[in-house]
Amino acid sequence: MADTQQVDEAIGAKQAAKAERRAARLAKEINAFAKAHGGAEGQVAYIGERGARIVLVGEDGGWGDLVAPTYDIAEKAVQKAGITVHEAFDGEFAGKVKTGPYEWTRMAGIQVGGKRTA
Protein backbone atom coordinates (compact mmCIF):
# COMPACT_ATOMS: atom_id res chain seq x y z
CA MET A 1 0.00 0.00 0.00
CA ALA A 2 2.89 2.36 0.70
CA ASP A 3 4.13 1.93 -2.88
CA THR A 4 0.76 3.05 -4.25
CA GLN A 5 0.78 6.13 -2.05
CA GLN A 6 4.27 7.10 -3.25
CA VAL A 7 3.22 6.71 -6.89
CA ASP A 8 0.06 8.79 -6.32
CA GLU A 9 2.10 11.51 -4.60
CA ALA A 10 4.62 11.54 -7.45
CA ILE A 11 1.84 11.84 -10.04
CA GLY A 12 0.19 14.61 -8.03
CA ALA A 13 3.47 16.50 -7.75
CA LYS A 14 4.06 16.20 -11.52
CA GLN A 15 0.55 17.45 -12.29
CA ALA A 16 0.97 20.37 -9.89
CA ALA A 17 4.30 21.30 -11.48
CA LYS A 18 2.78 21.08 -14.96
CA ALA A 19 -0.15 23.30 -13.90
CA GLU A 20 2.27 25.82 -12.38
CA ARG A 21 4.30 25.96 -15.62
CA ARG A 22 1.13 26.43 -17.67
CA ALA A 23 -0.04 29.27 -15.40
CA ALA A 24 3.39 30.91 -15.71
CA ARG A 25 3.26 30.70 -19.53
CA LEU A 26 -0.23 32.20 -19.59
CA ALA A 27 0.88 34.97 -17.22
CA LYS A 28 3.77 35.74 -19.59
CA GLU A 29 1.31 36.01 -22.50
CA ILE A 30 -1.01 38.22 -20.43
CA ASN A 31 1.92 40.50 -19.55
CA ALA A 32 2.95 40.70 -23.21
CA PHE A 33 -0.61 41.70 -24.14
CA ALA A 34 -0.68 44.30 -21.36
CA LYS A 35 2.66 45.74 -22.50
CA ALA A 36 1.44 46.00 -26.10
CA HIS A 37 -1.84 47.68 -25.12
CA GLY A 38 -0.79 50.07 -22.36
CA GLY A 39 -2.08 47.83 -19.57
CA ALA A 40 -4.85 45.28 -19.35
CA GLU A 41 -7.81 44.07 -17.36
CA GLY A 42 -9.39 40.66 -17.58
CA GLN A 43 -12.25 38.32 -16.80
CA VAL A 44 -12.11 34.56 -16.31
CA ALA A 45 -15.05 32.48 -17.52
CA TYR A 46 -15.58 28.74 -17.13
CA ILE A 47 -16.19 27.13 -20.54
CA GLY A 48 -16.87 23.56 -19.52
CA GLU A 49 -14.59 20.63 -20.15
CA ARG A 50 -12.32 22.79 -22.28
CA GLY A 51 -11.32 24.82 -19.22
CA ALA A 52 -11.57 28.57 -18.77
CA ARG A 53 -11.37 31.57 -21.05
CA ILE A 54 -9.34 34.59 -20.01
CA VAL A 55 -10.72 37.66 -21.79
CA LEU A 56 -8.27 40.56 -21.89
CA VAL A 57 -9.06 44.19 -22.63
CA GLY A 58 -6.21 46.64 -23.10
CA GLU A 59 -6.21 50.28 -22.06
CA ASP A 60 -6.29 51.17 -25.76
CA GLY A 61 -9.48 49.15 -26.32
CA GLY A 62 -7.71 46.22 -27.96
CA TRP A 63 -8.90 42.84 -26.81
CA GLY A 64 -8.03 39.20 -26.97
CA ASP A 65 -8.44 35.97 -25.12
CA LEU A 66 -6.56 32.93 -23.93
CA VAL A 67 -7.83 29.49 -22.95
CA ALA A 68 -6.51 27.69 -19.89
CA PRO A 69 -7.07 23.96 -19.36
CA THR A 70 -8.72 24.57 -15.96
CA TYR A 71 -10.35 27.45 -14.11
CA ASP A 72 -7.75 27.18 -11.33
CA ILE A 73 -4.88 27.57 -13.80
CA ALA A 74 -6.60 30.60 -15.35
CA GLU A 75 -7.02 32.21 -11.92
CA LYS A 76 -3.37 31.55 -11.05
CA ALA A 77 -2.27 33.05 -14.38
CA VAL A 78 -4.16 36.33 -13.92
CA GLN A 79 -2.96 36.51 -10.33
CA LYS A 80 0.67 36.02 -11.43
CA ALA A 81 0.22 38.66 -14.15
CA GLY A 82 -1.14 41.11 -11.58
CA ILE A 83 -3.98 42.46 -13.71
CA THR A 84 -7.36 43.65 -12.48
CA VAL A 85 -9.89 40.85 -12.80
CA HIS A 86 -13.62 41.49 -13.18
CA GLU A 87 -16.36 39.11 -12.06
CA ALA A 88 -18.37 39.60 -15.25
CA PHE A 89 -17.89 40.97 -18.74
CA ASP A 90 -20.37 43.82 -18.54
CA GLY A 91 -20.79 47.50 -17.72
CA GLU A 92 -17.75 49.74 -17.86
CA PHE A 93 -15.42 46.81 -18.52
CA ALA A 94 -17.25 45.71 -21.69
CA GLY A 95 -17.54 49.34 -22.76
CA LYS A 96 -13.74 49.59 -23.00
CA VAL A 97 -13.63 47.15 -25.95
CA LYS A 98 -13.14 48.81 -29.33
CA THR A 99 -14.29 46.83 -32.32
CA GLY A 100 -13.37 47.49 -35.92
CA PRO A 101 -14.86 46.82 -39.32
CA TYR A 102 -13.75 43.19 -39.26
CA GLU A 103 -15.76 42.39 -36.13
CA TRP A 104 -18.87 44.22 -37.33
CA THR A 105 -18.77 42.56 -40.75
CA ARG A 106 -18.20 39.17 -39.17
CA MET A 107 -21.01 39.60 -36.65
CA ALA A 108 -23.45 40.87 -39.26
CA GLY A 109 -22.63 37.99 -41.58
CA ILE A 110 -23.28 35.41 -38.93
CA GLN A 111 -26.41 37.03 -37.50
CA VAL A 112 -28.38 37.90 -40.59
CA GLY A 113 -27.12 35.34 -43.09
CA GLY A 114 -24.85 37.80 -44.86
CA LYS A 115 -21.49 37.15 -46.42
CA ARG A 116 -18.86 35.75 -44.05
CA THR A 117 -15.40 37.21 -44.08
CA ALA A 118 -12.19 35.31 -43.34
pLDDT-derived band at 103, boundaries 50, 70, 90: confident
Is pLDDT larger for residue 5 or for residue 86?
86
3-state secondary structure at position 34: helix
Dihedral over Cα of 101, 36, 59, 27: its sign: positive
pTM over 0.85: no
